[in-house]
Amino acid sequence: MCPYLLRHITLGVIVAAAVALAIGFIVPVGTILPNFGSPTVNVVLSYWFPHELAPQSKSLLGGIWGFFTNGQYVLGLVLLNFTVCFPISKLLLLLWLAWTHPLVPSPEGPPTFWHRTRGRCLKALSIVGHWSMLDVLVVALVVAHFARFPLGTRILPEPGLYWFALSVVLSIVAVQLLKRLDKAPGAV
């Protein structure tokens, strides 16, 4: 495949991953449906605590913010780093690698500093790419953990979870496309 076309496809996949990530951040990832087992108890408690017992939808950023406002700073920081900072920095590095990719053959001789740095970045991205799926696993485990509350309270997955997972998969695809671009004839 032509390196120019492959570069544009890679940039398109990175932009699609960034859009999916942004949507995954703001669209609800789950809805909590409180239930206390008995319709009578549900009605009585709903009368006294209408806001606390109403179904609540939470986005990824809203859930992280909830940890901070409830004083659970360590859990909030861990989730903030792994589900917000890490994917954003990975996409920025991918965008930089794809945007600055030289489409001319490298000069003969030993690899330059640029080529070594680029190779190290790609290797690091492919290694941490497998850890990106850990983000999706964390969100899915949180939903699964709370899906079986006592007395029938449930959490239903919402589209934000799927958008977030799509961004992780697209970023892994972008890393593979960048590797292929580096091996393309006529490229670096």
Q: Which phi and psi (to 5°) does residue 54 adopt? A: -80, 150
Residue-wise burial string across 139-173, b where 16 or more C-beta atoms lie within 10 A, e elsewhere: bbebbeeeeeeeeebebebbebbbbbbbbbebbbb
DSSP reduced 3-state for 140: helix
Contact (CB, 8 A) for 55 and 154: no
Q: What 8-state DSSP symbol labels residue 111?
A: P
Type of residue at 112: T
Average pLDDT, the chain: 80
Kindly give, in sequence order, each residue whose CB lies less than 8 Å from that of residue 86, ignoring residues fewer than 6 positions away.
128, 132, 135
User: What is the predicted pLDDT for the residue at 104?
Assistant: 53
Distance CA 184, CA 177 (A): 10
- pLDDT for the residue numbered 107: 59
What's residue 17's pLDDT? 96
The stretch 23-44 carries a mean pLDDT of 82
Reported pTM: 0.78
Token pair in block for residue 118: 């680029």
- Predicted pLDDT of residue 145: 54
Instruction: Give the pLDDT score at 133.
Output: 61
Amino acid 135: pLDDT: 64
The full set of domains in the chain, from first to last, is: 3-183 (1.20.140)
pLDDT of residue 163: 93
Q: What is the pLDDT of residues 71-87, one digit of tens each?
A: 889 888 888 888 888 88
The predicted-structure confidence for 158-168, as pLDDT tens digits, reads as follows 899 899 889 98
User: Residue for token digits 């990975």?
Assistant: 90
The predicted-structure confidence for 105-125, as pLDDT tens digits, reads as follows 555 655 666 667 777 887 887
N-terminal to C-terminal alpha carbon distance within the chain: 14
- Secondary element (H or E) of residue 25: helix 3-26
**What is the band of 129 on the pLDDT scale with cuts at 50, 70, 90?**
low
Confidence of residue 19 (pLDDT cuts 50, 70, 90): very high
